[in-house]
Amino acid sequence: MRWLASLSGRQRLWLALTLVVGLVIIAVGAVRQGAAGQPPPVDVSVTMTAKQIAPQLGVTGKSLARELGLPLDIPKEKPLQELGVTDEQLEHVVHHLLGHRDSTLKYYAFVALVLFALVFLARLGRPDGSPAADRKMWYPRWPYIVVLIIAVALCGFALGKSPNPMEGAVKLFKSFVGLYPSVLDKVVAFLFFAVLAVVGSKLICGWACPFGALQELAFSLPILRKLKQRKLPFAATNAVRSVLFVIVLLLLFGVVGGRKGLVLYHFVNPFNMFNLDIETASVGITIVAAIVLSLALYRPFCQLVCPFGLLSWLLERISLFRVKIDRERCTNCGACSRACPLQAAEGRVEGKRLPADCFSCARCLNVCPQDAISYGFVGTKPRVQSGSP
């Protein structure tokens, strides 16, 4: 609370405006979702064909066939029961596909959370005029924890699994093999998440993704502190998620296996937990493993598996706001590297061209004895406080 009391009048205005604008954005989202009304009821049975059922579920016949475990090229005019589909199978698939329907409100909630994160990191974290001797009070953890709890509660359990950044990436590639009626819709959804990753380094992952937030909250628990100081080598974790991504694409496009449409990520999609729809044992194991490992390891799912994590890491090169190092002040003392839960700060201090992912978590922003590290717009000089060494 000392941080809040130390904010200048201008910073308090920023805070108040950001909160008001964030609430307005969420209110607009709620109104738009309400205006769209309930989706039309689904009326399907196994006596109908894939061609009749698929449009009601917002997918193509191919996608429906894939969900039912049938070859993608089933005769679309044949009733499903003649293809051996049972009522239970169809009911299960319908339930699952309806869970994929996007919540309009969630898109707005993501924007509001990212907006708050950006203003906090770039404008509010350091009270204006606060001397470097007070830097321990900069960037307090509690606003971050509050936002993470909102991300899990609102963008996760309250509004369901879809949309989310990981599926934004996966559905983009699925649309390229004809699993969705519109490729354009999926391109736009992916671009939405990509923009929120670019505006500030991985802000959508660091501050708003519900499964990312759940891992971050688990990691933030004050236990296993010694283990938390160990970091997996970025070269290894990035290689794992990159190889997985290539294998997924080869299977999805039928280059390997000879059958298009297999989506390996479905077997490890932790976002299903927000619909209480644990489809397979592998999904349940992924969720439990990721959360338990997060008690000692920073965001294991993001580091090792998530395709959006990989793509947004590439996009970090063009992020507009990011952690910046003032090379003239930096003495390479290693304080920021020790505070960073990944090899991200270290890579930036060393000036690596492709450093590890930075989730904009702010842990490094109040530890530098030289005040050489800050969060700001890429085109400006790092901000230095009065009273800095």
Report the nearest approach of ligand SF4 to the CB of residue 164 (Å).
Answer: 7
Site map 208..237 versus ligand SF4, x via CB under 6 A: -x-xx-------------------------
Instruction: Mark the segment that binds ligand SF4 (CB under 6 A) among 150-158, 230-238, 252-260, 296-304.
Output: 296-304
Binding residue (CB under 6 A) for ligand SF4 from 26, 83, 98, 339: 339
Q: Nearer Cβ to ligand SF4, position 46 or 120?
A: 120
Rounded CA gap, 371 and 385, in Å?
8
Q: Nearer Cβ to ligand SF4, position 25 or 205?
A: 205
The verdict on 323 binding ligand SF4 (CB under 6 A) reads: yes
∠ CA 359-361-366, rounded to 5°: 135
C-alpha distances out from residue 348 to 7, 123, 367, Å: 29, 21, 15
Rounded CA gap, 123 and 144, in Å?
15
Cβ proximity of 355 and 347 under 8 Å:
yes
Report the nearest approach of ligand SF4 to the CB of residue 42 (Å).
Answer: 29
Instruction: Mark the segment that binds ligand SF4 (CB under 6 A) among 12-20, 134-142, 280-288, 342-350.
Output: 342-350
Report the nearest approach of ligand SF4 to the CB of residue 218 (Å).
Answer: 13
Report the nearest approach of ligand SF4 to the CB of residue 327 (Å).
Answer: 16
The verdict on 300 binding ligand SF4 (CB under 6 A) reads: no
The verdict on 198 binding ligand SF4 (CB under 6 A) reads: no
C-alpha distances out from residue 235 to 110, 265, 303, Å: 30, 22, 11
The verdict on 156 binding ligand SF4 (CB under 6 A) reads: no
The verdict on 189 binding ligand SF4 (CB under 6 A) reads: no
How many positions of this chain bind ligand SF4 (CB under 6 A)? 25
Report the nearest approach of ligand SF4 to the CB of residue 352 (Å).
Answer: 12
Report the nearest approach of ligand SF4 to the CB of residue 15 (Å).
Answer: 20
Q: Please give the span between the terminal C-alpha atoms of the chain, in angstroms, as a whole number.
A: 26
Site map 344..373 versus ligand SF4, x via CB under 6 A: xx------------xxxxxxx---------
Binding residue (CB under 6 A) for ligand SF4 from 309, 321, 374, 376: 309
Q: Nearer Cβ to ligand SF4, position 78 or 352?
A: 352
Residue nearest ligand SF4 by beta-carbon distance: 212
Q: Single out the residue of 270, 299, 271, 318 nearest to residue 363, CA to CA.
A: 299
Q: What's the maximum distance between 2 C-alpha atoms anywhere in the chain?
A: 78
Name beta bridge partners: 324.
374
Residue 161 DSSP label: S
Tally of residues, the chain: 389
Residue 49 DSSP label: B
Dihedrals phi, psi of 60, to nearest 5 degrees: -95, 170
The verdict on 150 binding ligand SF4 (CB under 6 A) reads: no
Q: Single out the residue of 140, 137, 151 nearest to residue 22, CA to CA.
A: 151
C-alpha distances out from residue 94 to 87, 121, 231, 272, 275, Å: 10, 42, 42, 15, 14
Binding residue (CB under 6 A) for ligand SF4 from 165, 261, 300, 382: 165
DSSP output for 289-329: HHHHHHTTSS-HHHHHT-HHHHHHHHHGGG-SEEEEE-TTT
Report the nearest approach of ligand SF4 to the CB of residue 342 (Å).
Answer: 5
3-state secondary structure of 165: helix
Q: Nearer Cβ to ligand SF4, position 89 or 326?
A: 326
Instruction: Mark the segment that binds ligand SF4 (CB under 6 A) among 247-255, 256-264, 335-343, 381-389.
Output: 335-343
Instruction: Using CB under 6 A, list all residues that contact ligand SF4.
Output: 165-166, 205, 209, 211-212, 299, 301-302, 306, 308-309, 323, 339-340, 342, 344-345, 358-364
